[in-house]
Amino acid sequence: MSKVHNFSAGPSILPPEVIKQASEAVLNFNNLNLSLIEISHRSKDFIAVMDKAKALVKELLNVPDGYSILFLQGGASLGFLQVPFNYMKVNGKAAYVNTGVWATKAQKEAKGFGEVLEIASSKDKNFSYIPKSYQIPGDADYLHITSNNTIFGTQFKNFPVSRIPMIADMSSDIFSRKIDVSQFDMIYAGAQKNMGPAGTILFIVKDSSLGKTGREIPTMLDFRSHIKGESMFNTPPVFAVYVSMLTLQWLKDNGGVEWMEKTNQQKADLMYGEIDRNPLFEGTANKTDRSNMNATFVLKDENLKEEFDNMWKAANISGIVGHRDVGGYRASMYNALPLESVQVLVDVMKAFEKKQG
C-alpha cells in the first residue's frame, strides 16, 4: 500500500501507530480476549481508559484545579446548544464574535434563550480575517469565540481579554498550540480534527461557572449531571474515548503541546511560504490571521485546475479540495499530519509552476 498524504479537514488524519493500537484493541482489549467495544463501560479496564484520557488532557493543557474534563456525545453542534443552556441567564444576553460558518451556527443556537449580540463579524469579507477592535459588553453573561475557523482558514493568534466569562469552540485547533485554560470558563472541541475519531466531544468546564442561570436544564444537556457522573452519566462513546486517549498519549510521548506547536508552525511556514512565493497561487485569508491548521488558497487561473488536480492526485495527496463556500483548495495540517506530507504538496506546486514555464 503506498502512502497517502491525508489533508482531510475532518474527520482527519490520526497517527498510524494510534490506528494500529486501536484496531488491536477492537480485536482483543488488554488481553481480555474481549473487544474494547463489547465490555462494560463500568469495567475497571474501561474506567482506567476514561481516567487516563482525562488525566492526559489535564497534563497536556495544564488545566488548573477547579475545572472538570468531560468526554460526551453530540459533537460541537450540540455543544452550541449546551452553551446557552448552561451559561445564559433567564432574560439574559450573550456576546458572539462571528468568524465563520461554525461561529454563525453557534450563535444561531443561542437565539431562543435571550438576547444574542453579534459584537463583531468578518462576514463582510467572506470571513477572511479575525475582527480585532470591538467592545465586549460588561453585562453579557458570556463571550463566545471560535478559536480556529476551519472552513475559511483563519485563527485567533491572541484571544480577547474579557472580563465576562469566555467560552471557546476549539474543535479544530485544540492541542495544536499552548493555551491558558484559566482565561476561559469553558472550552469545547469535537474529537475528529485533532484528537480522535468522530463520536466524542471534549468539554473543559470551570466548576464555579455553573448553576448561575436560574434555568431548567434537561439532564443530558446539564454539565452538572455529567460532572457528577464523572463523564459516565450515561454510556460514553467508548471507542472514540479510547482512540482519543491513545492520540493524547502519542502527543505526550512526542513532546506534548510545545513540540506540537513548533511542528505545526514549521508546517504552516512551509505551506504559506509556497502559497506566497508561487505566482500561480493566492492565499484567501488575511496574512496576519492565517490558520496554522487549515491553509486556504486558490489558483489565480481557474483554467489550470484540471492540470493541477491531476498532479496532486498522482502524488497520492488526498483531501485538499476547498470547502464550497471558499472554493479552491484547503490543506488541513492537523497535529498528526507529518511535515513530509506538506513538503510533498509544496513540491507538487513547484513542479506545476515549472511545467507552466
Ligand X SMILES: *Cc1c(COP(=O)(O)O)cnc(C)c1O
Interface positions with ligand X (CB under 6 A): 10, 75-77, 102, 146, 150, 169, 171-172, 190, 193
For ligand X, the closer CB: 10 or 237: 10
Give the residue nearest to ligand X (CB): 75
Could you say which of 193, 206, 250, 267 is catalytic?
193
Is the distance from CB of 71 to CB of 53 less than 8 angstroms? yes
For ligand X, the closer CB: 160 or 190: 190
For ligand X, the closer CB: 154 or 172: 172
| Least distance CB 73 / ligand X (angstroms) | 10
Query: Based on the number of CB atoms within 10 Å of its own CB, is 224 exposed (0-12), middle (13-18) or buried (19 or more)?
Result: middle
Across 255-314, where does the E strand assignment appear? 281-283, 294-299
| Least distance CB 24 / ligand X (angstroms) | 26
What separation in angstroms does the CA of 12 have from each of 5, 63, 76?
A: 11, 25, 16
The residue assigned the cell 474529537 is: 191
Cell triple for residue 241?
A: 474515548
For ligand X, the closer CB: 8 or 249: 8
Active site residue 259: no
Active site residue 312: no
Alpha helices in the chain (DSSP H): 16-27, 44-60, 75-87, 101-110, 223-228, 238-253, 256-277, 305-314, 339-356
Active site residue 185: no
For ligand X, the closer CB: 102 or 113: 102
Cell triple for residue 58?
A: 489535564
| Least distance CB 138 / ligand X (angstroms) | 27
Is the distance from CB of 250 to CB of 167 less than 8 angstroms? no
Is the distance from CB of 288 to CB of 157 less than 8 angstroms? yes
| Least distance CB 97 / ligand X (angstroms) | 13
Could you say which of 54, 141, 169, 289 is catalytic?
169
| Least distance CB 23 / ligand X (angstroms) | 23
Residues designated catalytic: 102, 169, 193
